[in-house]
Structure 1
């Protein structure tokens, strides 16, 4: 085919394909159905959209919530044209100009009628071009199916791997709690040994110390007895049940003991509840569940998790992706919590599909979010948003600031501007600032769209 014919054929094929899944329409499965707004999509795609609850046209966003997919009209005009789209396309012989209707398996090349009957070697295996294409497509589909099978096997391995990781994390936290409680019990035992003044108690302590020194006693009771919901310190209680009354109390690790131990780190609590962007919350394992404790409770020596404080915005213009911006939020501020909610969509509206609105000096500004019905939202999600006073900061590169005192608008500083300030700084770009600059330089800036957004996953570690 000529280049123009190929382009025309490609465009014709696109017109015969569903805009959602890009697959060609067909009579049996991907039947083209017409929405009341006039746009056509295949039955499986419309069924999937309907299942999600909000039934809107993928092209014009017209609402069809009360419409059933089974009641939609089939686009028979498209099906009739599709028959032409599926007709076999012959290339032209460069020598004779005829259709290349044959394929020689020995020569591995296409032939026209003149090529075949004027000098082509006898005894070669020659097939009709359509037969060759059909057989080749079948073999290619078999190879593709083998690739799919391989991919699915790897995906299943990954799924098992994720499940194993989840189980490993639970096991690690169970062990962590067990050894933490055992350590507290041993410390209490040491204190009581120093205070002991009787033969019976000293001999009892000697036996208990010997058992603590053995590896078996230090093993995680959850592994040996498979007691997911057991108190990790129960073995310690068993070891001291025959001690004198005052000595038993020294080894029992209770919730009260844990709270008293945690209360010793007042400064850590003040930091966590204040302005530290790297605040961490204690993680715990209890009743077969992972628990994330309040920031008011200091982490002490427990496993802890870094609290979410970094988000990302992926910017694009049309089909072009500009890249991602990573913003570290000052999460003690309401504006930072509001942007966190907008990035995740936890309060309804999100920044997904939101567009830049304008420029203000050195700021690229986003003034609205998008709700679940694809409507623009500009009102604040939280009250008490910071403005002015101690929240005013010099305008520096990458600074993220509120724009209006009572709504969700925010802007990102492109470069430092001497002598100017912003009124509600609540974060800073830590990576991808070149993406911000590219978006700022695009004209018009209103074409810049947030194509994806979300949270940078925090990590956890053992402190102390």
Structure 2
């Protein structure tokens, strides 16, 4: 009896040594290999330490000492402990507890494992259905694997439903925020109409106020709660909510761009843009139809007066203007004579109005979340955004971006005028596409916002490309250094030159990995070394950019990604 007790204690002690204290799983080769933290000497399985590392600051789960060594993935495996764990697995649970003999049979009637002695002593009887252990294991494996497959499918379906519900919640919040801003603006316009009517002295003034009131009611109804799923992505696809936000003075500090060196597969003989003093009226306006639909973002200022300039709503609707028929009609009038949109009063006080929502990423940097063209748009981090009422973590929203391909957008501007918006579909399983996405979101720090297209390669000829990629660093300089490593080049990523392809243009050099070209004209028989996406909307905007690059800079005034969310 004493020997059995001692054996049990030894076995328990060994199990403790080969078990990770975080997940309580035995160390296993490949999936749960043991690694030791060098500073304190405590050992854990690699996946558990990686999970802790991904949360930010890694501390030892046992002694709480902060770990500041190399990444957990680089720590060596403790093979001695792994060997001990494998030996423990082999020694536990494979012998008959009564006889110590190998378990080789299974009794279906008793639902028990049997050794040869058990079989002879108790189970060679009528009614006992005994099968070989190997047959029982094969049957159970097939059944368990089948049930696991069904469970995985069920979990996958449930995850999809969960993501859809979550996506709808986010869309509802952002749509509500957008609606609150439109209603705020509408209240100001109603006040202007009331002021004009109070001072009206002729029929023309009354008719103008009546017309403006009808337009105002129509605009308010457009943002009434409704099902917008029938709206298509093309409804407002080229409307730019951020065109009016471009501060032209901020572009004066950009360094002049220089062409990159000639490399194989790269179009580098491009015209460098040179600033000229040519009058604006001499510049061909090839994009009037595009820029005419540009919609500036509604920046609500609670301190603005009744005479504030009219603004467009944030859903891309036409500007709503209540014109002052008499410029002096409202001078000296106290604002208390007309109702103010002070928000919504509840039992707990007044709700802040209008509501504001944004995305927040690493370091607390923020970006806009906008409902545009029937789809949810997330803008790059790094904007100065007024303190919001709702903030959504970028890590949560990125879960709504499809894995296979992502759709990003670039808002192009020249001389303070919006050219329009370009939508690009990235082939998401390519690391170079993921790198481009990071620069569209600013998730790794810099972004392509305020980046300037620096030239056109092979202008007017087959294979013509628009060249860009020099992003701004926090110090105000430009860089094309890769933000991540091991980006693809050549091999299976070579594609024939086709209009709309977005391609790498760096000769495979990490220090140039942010360079990209957009193909403007087909060139059969010639190839790009690494294509990672394609333009799906806005080629006319890019052609306008190529034209304007003869005389002026073309800037990416804003950039972001379209989220896979349903309309509210």
TM-score norm. by structure 1 comes to 0.44
Compare the two structures and name the one with the higher helix fraction.
Answer: 1
Higher relative contact order (CA 8 A, sep 6+): 2
TM-score norm. by structure 2 comes to 0.38
